[in-house]
Chains A and B, each alone.
Chain A
Amino acid sequence: MSFNIRLMVNNSASNVADKDFTTLDTLTGVLRNETSVTNPSIRIEADVNDVAECNYFYIPQFHRYYFVTDIRSIRNGLVEISGHTDVLTTALKLGSLSDCIGITKRQEQDWNLDINDGFFKVYQNPIVTTELFPQGFNSFSYVLAVAGSEQTATT
Chain B
Amino acid sequence: MSEKYSCTSLSHGNIDLYLPNPSDMYFNASSQSSSFTFSDGADLLTKYPKLDKNTTIFVANASSKTIAQNLGFSNVINCQEWKNDRIIFSNGNYLSITAPYTTQGRVDPVLANGTVLYTNQIQPMWADNDRVATCYSYYSNIAYDSVIDSVLGVTTYNAIYINFRFSDTYSRYRDFYGGYLSGVGQIMPSLIVLPVSGQYDIRQFWNGIDPPPTHEDPYSGAGDSTTGGGDGTFDGSSDPVPVPNLPSVGAQDSGFITLFAPTAQQMKDLAHFMWVNPVFDLSAFKKLFADPMDCILGLSVVPVTVPTSGAKNVNIGNLITTVTMNVASQQYIEVDCGTVTMDRFFGSYLDFEPYTKISLFLPYCGTHSLNMDDIAGKTIGIVYHIDILTGSCIAFVKCGDSVLYEFNGACGSNIPVNSLNFASTIENAIRIAVNIGTTVATAGASAPITGANAATRETARKIGTGVSLAGSTAEGALSMKPNVSRSGALGGGVGILGHQIPYFIITRPRLCKPAKQDFFQGYPSFIQTTIGDLIGKGFTSFTNVIISGQYLTDEEETELESILESGVYL
Which A positions have Cβ atoms within 8 angstroms of B?
Answer: 13, 15-18, 37-38, 63, 85, 87-88, 90-92, 94-117, 119-123, 125-155
Contact = CB atoms under 8 A, between A and B. Distances in A.
A137 B335 contact: yes
Of A138, A139, A147, most B-chain CB atoms within 10 Å = A147
A115 B527 CA distance: 11
Contacts of A116: 349, 524
Interface stretch (B168-176, B234-242, B431-439, B538-546): B538-546
Of A98, A125, A136, most B-chain CB atoms within 10 Å = A136
B78 to A, nearest CB: 56
Contacts of B264: 142
B315 interface: yes
A141 B301 contact: yes
B545 A103 contact: yes
A139 B305 contact: yes
A123 B513 CA distance: 10
Contacts of A101: 528-531, 545-546
Contacts of A138: 303, 500
A140 B301 contact: yes
Given A98-B531, A120-B350, A143-B302, A104 B340 contact: no
The 5 closest A-B pairs by CB, nearest first: A136-B501, A102-B545, A98-B532, A108-B538, A95-B550
A19 B232 CA distance: 47
A100 B548 contact: yes
B412 interface: yes
Contacts of A114: 348-349
A127 B320 contact: no
Interface in B515-570: 517-519, 521-532, 534-535, 537-553, 555-557, 559-560, 563-570
Interface of B: 255-264, 267, 270, 294-306, 312-318, 320, 322, 325, 327-328, 335-340, 342, 346-350, 355, 363-364, 382, 388-389, 411-412, 415, 488, 490, 496, 499-513, 517-519, 521-532, 534-535, 537-553, 555-557, 559-560, 563-570
A18 B534 CA distance: 12
B92 to A, nearest CB: 59
Nearest to B535: A98
Determine chain B's interface SS by DSSP, over half rule. Answer: mixed
Nearest to B351: A114
Given A143-B328, A152-B315, A107 B545 contact: no
Contacts of B500: 136-138
Given A88-B568, A133-B382, 13 more contacts: A97-B531, A102-B529, A102-B546, A103-B544, A107-B525, A115-B525, A122-B355, A122-B510, A136-B502, A140-B302, A144-B267, A148-B316, A150-B327
A133 to B, nearest CB: 5
Contacts of A115: 349, 524-526
Contacts of B505: 128-130
B526 to A, nearest CB: 6
B297 A147 contact: yes
A63 B313 CA distance: 106
Contact of B258 (A109, A131, A150): A150
Nearest to B556: A87
Nearest to B484: A145
A87 B245 CA distance: 70
A117 B346 CA distance: 13
11 contacts: A13-B569, A104-B527, A107-B540, A108-B519, A109-B538, A117-B523, A120-B512, A127-B506, A127-B507, A137-B363, A142-B301
Nearest to A118: B524
Given A106-B525, A115-B526, A153 B313 contact: yes
B541 A104 contact: yes
Contacts of B566: 15
Contacts of A99: 530-532, 549
B126 to A, nearest CB: 55
Contacts of A136: 337, 363, 499-502
Nearest to B540: A107
Nearest to A123: B510
A150 B312 contact: yes
Contacts of A128: 505-508
